[in-house]
Chain A
Amino acid sequence: MKFTFSWLRDHLDTQHSLTEICDALPMLGLEVESLEDPLRHLSDFLVAEIITAERHPDADRLQVCTVDKGDGKPLQIVCGAANAKAGLKTVLAPVGSWIPGSDMTLKEGKIRGQASQGMLCSYEELAMGQDHDGIAELPADAPVGTSFASFAADAELPASDPVIEIAITPNRGDCLGVRGVARDLAAAGYGNLKPLDFSEEEGCFASPLTWEIAEEAKPLVPLISGRLFEGVQNADAPSWMADRLTAIGQRPISALVDITNYVMIDLGRPLHAYDADKVEGDKLTVRLAEQGEQVEALNEKTYTLEEGALVIGDAAGPDDLAGIMGGERTGVSETTTRMFLEIAVFDPIRVATTGRQLNLHSDARYRFERGLDACSPIEMAGYIARLVNSICGGTISHLVVEGNAKPARQSVSFAPEKVVQLTGVDCPLDKQVEILSVLGFELDTSQPIWQVAVPHWRNDIDGAADLVEEIIRIYGFDKLEMASLPRDEVVARPSYSPAQKRSLVLRRTLASRGLTEAVTFSFLKRKDAELFGGDNDALMLANPISNDLNMMRPSVVPNLLQAMGRNLNRGIEEACFFEIGPVFLSPDAEGQRMAVGGVRQGRRQLGDWQHKEQPFDLFDAKADLLAALSVLGVRVDNLVASRDVPAWLHPGRSGVLRLGKAEMGVFGEVHPAICRAFDLPEGVAAFEFWLDNIAMPRRKGPAKTPIDLSALQPVSRDFAFIVAEEVEAQKLIDAVRRAARDVVEAVTVFDVYQGKGIEERHKSVALNVRLQPRDTTFSEADLAKIADQIVATVAKNCGGLLRG
């Protein structure tokens, strides 16, 4: 909300400076968003008087002036303004000052040969207005030699008024008027709230227009008042009002419109002015709209209403969106002479709902939504009537009122020790009473539990905690004592549970394998989601920010592929990413999984003088997956791979790893069609698994299992088997393990060969088997026996022949 400093001082009797006030506001919860002080650059400028003014000897349009600046040392100044004449009081910019209106720093110099020791300024040069001819003309009693800035502030010169903009939190509807802000400042000791004449205005005739509230609208219209102003003149608003509205960025329109806007800012009280001559019939009815009714609002747009919106209408139909915007048909114009003024309180929720349905924002709606002074339709009516009358003349009718004229004040039971309980600050009782009283609360402190009546402009207060906030907010947050949290444990416990810690360990594991962590959005476009099996309509966003982000993701891989694409387009050749983040199967909490995925594209090994270049392939993804599972405690030797992969993977170059029946993860090369859809080269390696699927290892205490460090040397033996092409290496490895389970420590595939010397559709697989003796070293006979067992088992299980 914007207002000017002088406006604030209309309500607040204060000696505090603008700076002090602006420092105080945020500490009351009223955050200062901006401060524009036209005088802040004018601190060196002085009130001065022209003593003599004579024609410049060498220039017809210039005068040479002697100027008194109050210190008995007159200056000579060359001035081009036609209105410069002896005896004029004006504004002197001394040498060295910066002129805000022309953005220049003033130097002493000669103008056409005559010394000039300063400058006499126009309002335009002072950045205080544009349509001024010549230099500023100050009143004759302006004190020569004083600071122009303080003179201008005291005299409230037009455009000298600093503009303050504050942010109002949604609970403080009462501070959407200048008076509310002044009240808070007064409570905090920054001056006194000036009294305002809220006495009733009797009026001198009965209003020919009255209110009617339809039965079904009654709960939504607690109180509404109105009165007729007969014989008004709707000319321009007075300049003091127009200047203030201009200063806060509102365009003055006409006296009646400006008065409604002014009162809205001044008292936080939106009004609506009808041209009574345009109202059909003798009553205005507040009712609920029927589906499809239309209103042309004051912004000249026509709105089609949904059933239940609050509207006000006459015999000719609805013409006011209650609490949001008036109607064009019955609005005032410059020819209006009979004006009916509405002061209403409407249900904030209904106003908000209708405003949102119509997507219509207004300053009035903003205030109605946040709640208005419940008594204002009656209590402010007199003050407002006199304001209208003083500006527009005419006569005032009696007030017509509908609704509950005496809304009950809410009362809160309050134990004053609640302040120290909640805040730790022991605010003295008399201070508590004082703060609440200045804020408008009425207290009964006769019992240990006080009864506190809430002012009718504070609809944010309904409990003891609210009162504590009022007290500590005004008493000062700076009084809060810093108390470190008591330590319950001398040695802190871990903050991550063992299950939560897994993400941290995985992150380090994958990053140390050369994958960089990406954080991507949890949503993507449906088309991409579908490629990864995401087709659950329930996961579509109802209000996506764009159609590229309209569905919750089923996998982290599509987002990582997009990230990869962006990087490849930037000319980056090795793009390896992982992400640990949520994916979604259904909208309920059970449908969310923590996915771990990674992608690789580019070269595993860059070619150089030492190495041959090697591209990433599915085995890099397999290694990533195994490394991740292994660090989670999965016994990777027991994993079984199969080819029943999801459709986004290459069917021949990918696999699913299972432990028993439990799926542990997938790896492989991304399906060429998917690569094409994401505009990527083929052969992107990827893996993904859901952390939720991996059981926590069973562990009792930190102790590790005992280790058996054999004193006996292991023996290494090589075998090459010729098997049919389709026999998988894992099958050979399993067969070798099975053949001598007790002693086979490791099996390594060190060569796979097809081609010359090997039968068609067959391959040679070379294995290195490491054998660990248990009790005694192997004899040659032992080794021969083990080798025979291996060869026999491989022959039996895999149809493999030992290569000769």
Chain B
Amino acid sequence: MTEIETLKADLLSSVEGASDLAALEAVRLDALGKKGRISVQLKRLGALEPEQRKQTGQALNQVKDELAEAISARQKLLEAEALSAQLEAERVDISLPVQQPLAGNIHPLSRTVEEIAAIFADMGFSIAEGPDIETDFYNFTALNIPPEHPARQEHDTFYLRPDAENVRPVLRTHTSPVQIRTMQKEKPPIRIIVPGRTYRSDHDATHSPMFHQCEGLVIGENIHMGHLKGCLIDFCRAFFGVDDLPVRFRPSFFPFTEPSAEVDIGCRRVDGKLEIGAGDDWLEILGSGMVHPKVIENCGMNPDEVQGFAFGMGVERLAMLKYGISDLRTFYDSDLRWLKHYGFLPIDVPALHTGLDEGV
């Protein structure tokens, strides 16, 4: 065996013997470093005869190439082994439980109002607001409910203490005063809804001293009762997501509308559970009617020139029917367990383009 062959065998065996990347680097330096065994031999080539130089040079370079290739192969192998070892070392118990940040929820009443607003927005309504503490004029008189009218007694009104002139402010018993406030300051055509807090001094399983209503008002030149019917049927079907929902209009009485209509939707009871839709029973859900000429007059308009309709619905009632909530009082109790169950995720925005239903 020539000296070069011996060198080659020796170096290749060292490469094979390198057990980690550091040892391999040491082998590389021992062979190819500045003072490495191959480098030293290559430096010596200059002292040889040309023929000898060529032969030895070729042989050495071949060894060098082979060696580099062996080192590279060995390096890949060792790197792979090291990575495997690392992966093994980094193994964790993936069954460990993780925490989610505390999540908050949107109250079902807020959600319901937004759903109502989304539908009426599409029908061209805007939102109007008014104060919770009202005057007798806006809450009653302007709405054609004169003092001592039996309808007033039915309102169970909360009053604040009388002021210096012995006038008692009222907590609004309905959102209808905002009809008056709007008609006083805006010119027809008017299309508004008025979601808000309302108050009546009644407290039992089906009454709360504070609750929410959503008033609606449409004033225009040719708005008639057919539009009332169309608008409210369109709303009910969109809100409950039942395309063929039966909606019934019944004559009724409200001092501020004439003619007045109570609106019922179809329902059925299946295994004791209420379902909204075609069925053998009716549920009263809102009151409505053509705005009373006296109300229009009270707002400084001529009832022979403009007319329109108004409606009012209980937000709690709509929420209870749609979301299967059985007890009115739970809305205001702030029981976190209840709010988690009946509440809505903040990222879940009801909108017509995505549909009003919750979730995906």
Contacts and interface: CB of A to CB of B under 8 A. Distances in A.
Interface of A: 26-29, 31, 169-172, 348-349, 352-353, 356, 369-370, 420-425, 463-466, 468-469, 472-473, 477-478, 480-485, 487-489, 492-497, 500, 504, 507-523, 537-546, 549, 552, 560, 563, 566-567, 570, 572, 574-578, 581-582, 584, 587-589, 591-592, 606, 608-611
Nearest to B119: A495
B302 interface: no
A466 B233 CA distance: 24
B276 to A, nearest CB: 19
A170 B254 CA distance: 9
A468 B148 contact: no
A473 B251 contact: yes
Contacts of B272: none
Closest 3 CB pairs of A and B: A29-B251, A169-B253, A424-B226
B226 A483 contact: yes
B337 A488 contact: no
Contact of A589 (B133, B224, B234, B303): B133
A31 B133 contact: no
- Residue among B109, B110, B133, B252 with the most chain A CB within 10 A? B133
Interface in B81-114: 96-99, 101-107, 109-110, 114
B226 A572 contact: no
B161 A537 contact: yes
Interface in B327-360: 331-337, 339-340, 343, 345-347, 349
B4 interface: no
Contacts of B223: 485
Contacts of A504: 114
A537 B163 CA distance: 10
Contacts of A570: 335, 337
Nearest to B118: A495
A513 B339 CA distance: 16
A353 B191 CA distance: 38
A370 to B, nearest CB: 6
A125 B154 CA distance: 42
B261 A477 contact: yes
Given A169-B252, A516-B336, A572-B336, 19 more contacts: A172-B253, A349-B148, A422-B225, A469-B258, A473-B251, A477-B249, A477-B261, A480-B225, A485-B223, A485-B231, A509-B346, A517-B110, A519-B107, A520-B334, A522-B199, A543-B158, A587-B160, A608-B99, A610-B98
A482 B163 contact: no
30 contacts: A27-B250, A169-B252, A171-B253, A171-B255, A422-B290, A423-B259, A424-B224, A424-B225, A425-B226, A465-B258, A465-B292, A466-B258, A477-B250, A480-B226, A482-B230, A482-B233, A495-B118, A509-B346, A512-B347, A517-B343, A518-B107, A522-B197, A542-B160, A543-B159, A567-B336, A572-B337, A574-B102, A591-B133, A592-B132, A606-B99
B73 interface: no
Contact of A587 (B169, B199, B201, B349): B169
B30 interface: no
- Residue among A171, A172, A468, A509 with the most chain B CB within 10 A? A171
Interface stretch (B6-14, B60-68, B123-131): B123-131
A170 B258 contact: no
A514 B104 contact: yes
A183 to B, nearest CB: 15
Contacts of B46: none
A208 B259 CA distance: 49
Contacts of A512: 104, 346-347
Interface of B: 96-99, 101-107, 109-110, 114, 117-118, 120-127, 129-133, 147-151, 153-154, 158-163, 168-169, 171, 189, 191, 193, 197, 199, 201-203, 209-210, 218, 223-227, 229-231, 233-234, 249-253, 255, 258-262, 290, 292-294, 303, 307, 331-337, 339-340, 343, 345-347, 349
B292 to A, nearest CB: 7
Given A508-B346, A521-B332, A610-B99, A581 B104 contact: no
A573 B3 CA distance: 82
Contacts of A485: 123-124, 191, 218, 223, 227, 230-231, 234
A31 to B, nearest CB: 7
Contacts of A29: 250-253
Contacts of B332: 519-521
Contacts, number: 270
Contacts of A610: 96, 98-99
Contact of A511 (B106, B169, B227, B229): B106
Contacts of B106: 507-508, 511, 517
Nearest to B346: A511
B129 A500 contact: yes
A799 to B, nearest CB: 40
A495 B294 CA distance: 28
B160 A541 contact: yes
Contacts of B261: 477
A162 to B, nearest CB: 20
B339 A421 contact: no
Contacts of B230: 482-485
Contact of A519 (B118, B250, B331): B331
A449 B250 CA distance: 28
Contacts of A611: 99
B226 A423 contact: yes
Given A484-B231, A485-B124, A587-B169, A563 B334 contact: yes
Contacts of A544: 158, 201
Contacts of B118: 495
B126 A497 contact: yes
A541 B158 contact: yes
Contact of B224 (A423, A484, A507): A423
A467 to B, nearest CB: 10
Given A477-B251, A507-B106, A566 B335 contact: yes
B123 A492 contact: yes
A337 to B, nearest CB: 39
B133 A170 contact: no
B343 A516 contact: yes
A212 B224 CA distance: 51
B158 to A, nearest CB: 6
Contacts of A492: 121-124
Contacts of B336: 516, 567, 572, 575
A496 B114 CA distance: 10
Contact of A514 (B102, B149, B158, B343): B102
B293 A496 contact: no
A575 B336 CA distance: 8
Given A465-B258, A484-B234, A517-B343, A495 B160 contact: no
Given A493-B124, A514-B103, A516-B339, A522 B201 contact: no
Contact of B132 (A478, A522, A577): A522
Contacts of B131: 589, 592
A482 B133 CA distance: 37
B195 to A, nearest CB: 10
A611 B293 CA distance: 68
A517 B345 CA distance: 11
Contacts of B218: 485
B130 to A, nearest CB: 8
Contacts of B148: 348-349, 352-353
Contacts of A609: 96
A582 B226 CA distance: 37
Contact of A576 (B102, B225, B331): B102
B137 to A, nearest CB: 13
A510 B104 contact: yes
B85 to A, nearest CB: 26
A567 B334 contact: yes
A344 B262 CA distance: 34
A740 to B, nearest CB: 36
Contacts of A566: 333-335
A516 B201 contact: no
A383 B307 CA distance: 45
